[in-house]
Amino acid sequence: MDREPSFHNVVTIPARQTQTATIIFIHGLGQSNVTWRMVAAEALSPSLPHVQWLFPQASKRPVSMNQGLRRPSWFDIARLPPSPNEFDEYAISESIGLIEDLILSQGAALSMMVALTSLHDLGGVVSLSGWIPPRARHMIHATPTFPILWCHGIADREIPFTYGQEAIAFLRNTLRLPQSRLQLRAYDGLDHAINDAELNDVAYWLQCVLSG
């Protein structure tokens, strides 16, 4: 099966000063890179003038949880919350390869899997309401050394907060990621969405990581 590349449709925010870093933002199921570009341009980019932002767009593929409707998706998913055994290995591997090519929710899960399997020296990763698919963990081949910010709404019903807690435990206890490299931010009353407090936390974390 041929890879269906989607990177002809990458939207960007150029660095306004001398570029010292690049952030790749991976959107979630059914979402648009253009929408997230607008969010970042308003809430995140102004405080990071030396950063170039890249927003790849997933191609449309049949999504089982939507009765096969074709939606922007990095991999197939049968239900929400996802089953611990759910793992579209081919599509996850394919999408990891696409993001790797670019370096040379779904978005959060894929971002984490790219970061944990990449041979590139990444500066860090942010997960917004994500999880690490249990059946995908055999793909991880090294102990991460980069910092991680994990943000999750406690009221999330699509990717429950417990999924985030379990992923944090995996990072700490199995991968032995030092406590100093892993931050968890939980938001009372927040469902599968973002709010100003979360965006502020992301902006502050990025400033700290990219200035160090």
Residue with tokens 């984490």, as numbered in its chain: 112
In contact, 29 and 63? CB cutoff 8 Å = yes
SS3 content of the chain, % helix, strand, coil (to 5): 40, 15, 40
192 in active site: yes
Ramachandran region of residue 184, left (φ > 0), alpha (ψ -120 to 50) or beta?
Answer: beta
Active site residue 105: yes
- Active-site residue, from 76, 118, 127, 192: 192
Q: How far apart are CA 34 and CA 57, in angstroms?
A: 9
The one-character DSSP state at 129 is S
What interhelical angle do 196-211 and 33-43 show, nearest 10? 70
What residues pair up with 11 in beta bridges, in sequence order?
55
156 assigned to active site: yes
DSSP string, 62-77: EEGGGTTEEEE-SS--
Catalytic residue among 105, 111, 118, 127: 105
DSSP string, 168-193: HHIIIIIS---GGGEEEEEETT--SS
DSSP assignment letter at 159: T
Query: What one-character DSSP code corresponds to residue 174?
Result: I
Q: Which of 76, 88, 129, 156 is catalytic?
A: 156
Which residues are known to be catalytic?
A: 105, 156, 192
